[in-house]
Structure 1
Amino acid sequence: MEAGNGPAAPFNDLAALAALADASRRMRAEIARVIIGQEEVVEQLLIGLFARGHVLLVGVPGLAKTLLVGTVAKILHLSFRRIQFTPDMMPSDITGTDILQDDPDTGRRRFVFIRGPLFSHVVLADEVNRTPPKTQAALLEAMQERHVSAGGQTYDLPDPFFVLATQNPIEQEGTYPLPEAQLDRFMLEVRVPYPTPDDELEILRRTTGEAVPEPEAFLEAAQILELQRLVRRVPVPEHVFRFARDLVRASRPDQPEATEFVRKSVSWGAGPRAGQALILGAKARAVLLGRFAASPDDVRAVARPVLRHRIVTTFHAEAEGIDADRVIDRLLRDVPEPLQQAAGRLAGPA
């Protein structure tokens, strides 16, 4: 996660705020032409995009994860590549490689770098847990550094650069699960649920006929970069910074802020990058909803996708069916907002 969460400049650009809110509404409308339901998933995907973060999509096969990502790329008028990860894939298969070619001018041979599929604005890393760790590491390095190194040269990736990786949670045979330290590179882990009964009925109606709806592209790369800069300018009140910090610190079992439930249920809590993601996600959600500043409600709304892949539960918790989402729910219940704490101190004992 990138730095840049210092004191915000005054934010009073009504036109810019209206532009992003309008872009959000149009994107949702265009996505809804292709993707039925999944409003929460779409919102979290847009938060990751406009907060300049990467997203891990987790869901069983057949839930239109690939279609959703491709639809977003079409709406944004960006280059899109899908990489189907396999156990025999090497790092150079995704980053690119040097090949020896004849120079038509000199007749001599020289190495020419052939760019891999990572050189796209939107990259769908399908079934990222099916490829060996060295290829996963090449992807994660590109996500963090936003460039690729090959043959002693560094090649910048296009801007914006947005990686959406997918994982199948029900099939683990022959897979290479991402270590927790590498999962931390993703800003959000978004769970893609089964559709509701009404949505599933509409899916059957809409996808078994002749008409194939196509989304309309209306945002260019330069506009997206400007909207990402706008999100960075959204101010965050001090008590929201403190709330995000307190949530993250309370998730660590070795910290004094941790409750007895966390000490029993969590073996490893979230790091500082989680706090950055909470603030950036809250900023993006606020401005997507047309508001001038982030609030504690925005932090609460992004807490699950931000924290669930950064909290490691204990064997005792797993045996009792306590997963990361249950821990996050308890954190949101137990960690008070700083303003409420201050009010309680001022009121004194009853």
Structure 2
Amino acid sequence: MPGTSNLVELLTRNLRQSGIYIAFVFIVALFTVLTGGTLLAPNNVTNLILQYSYILILAIGMVMIIVAGHIDLSVGSVVALTGAVSAVLTIQQGLPWWVGVLAALGTGVLVGIWQGFWVAVVGIPAFIVTLAGMLIFRGLTLQVLGNVSLSPFPSEYQQIAGGFLNGLIGGQGYDAFTLLIAAIAVIGYAVSSWRTRMRKLEFDQPVESLVLFALKILAIAAVVMAFAWQLAHSRGLPIVLILLAALVLIYGAVTKRSVFGRHIYAMGGNLSAAQLSGVNTRRVNFLLFVNMGVLASIAGIVYASRSNSAQPAAGEMFELDAIAAAFIGGAAVTGGVGTVMGAIVGGLIMAVMSNGMQIMGIEQSTQSVVRGVVLVLAVAFDVYNKRRAQGSR
């Protein structure tokens, strides 16, 4: 029956899309038990956001690169270089903090232009270009810093990753402003989801039942408010979380609702078909790497602010964490599949696992093994889904 077939297809697709969220809830619950509740303690939840915010920022750009069928191995070195440029200007030269921020962003743009030129115009594979970039920008970092660390940054600069908004509207033993912002976010998500549902109904596209839709909204609202409750009982709303939320909203809209976003998915799905359809693949590739450079510079600013220093070894292995976040979040190895929200959840899974294992006192070597196994399983799941889809045709 057509109706039954559509329902089964809808349920299967929803389960596949929701699998990462189910896995995230399971991992949080598991490590909450294993750490005796310490994982979800207010101070630890705050520290979790502060410690892994720069990886999540990198994951946003990385998932777009992967969806287009590329990879970027240089982002860790770009994080180090942009932080070094900020440090030299603000610490050594004594310039205002905002000059260091603008200089870091400008450096990220130049890096993106450099790599975008070789990938989009010359046609060198991104793997090779960014592998070279990893070496080039790490070397430049050493030259800029003179192979020494610089610290401390001005107090205003430190507030980027270490500042909080709290006490604006009071609260007895908690920050009411944090809860208010979370409530507004939940309402905004609910309204946006309802509008999306109604648009699908207008075009006779399959949607979940109203009961399932309501349960999904309630579940998300409960998770968000519980998270906000923990933040409200710690130090309030981190400034870096506001920055991260803004990036997620902006890039979520870009990838889902803009022509540029549709072109990225078209290229990753079938490059030849995209070119025949009139997609300017050179332009898209160029802008992708410029965008990655900007996001890497933002991550560099946040990391330098968080560590209150610029170090020659800053950002090492960050590219692998960002790539892992994208793949665990559902990005396909072959391109064409992946979402910003999925990459964020994938990054949070890695963050919760790392933080939980640190609390438990597990050795770093064992932590690396566990994270590697999780990455392999995530990619294996993607491969399995593709084979099953092809077999059902």
Instruction: Settle same-fold status: TM greater than 0.5.
Output: no
Greater RCO, CA 8 A, separation 6+: 2
- Is the helix fraction higher in 1 or 2? 2
Query: Hey, which of these two has a bigger chunk of strand by percent?
Result: 1
TM-score under structure 2 length normalisation: 0.22
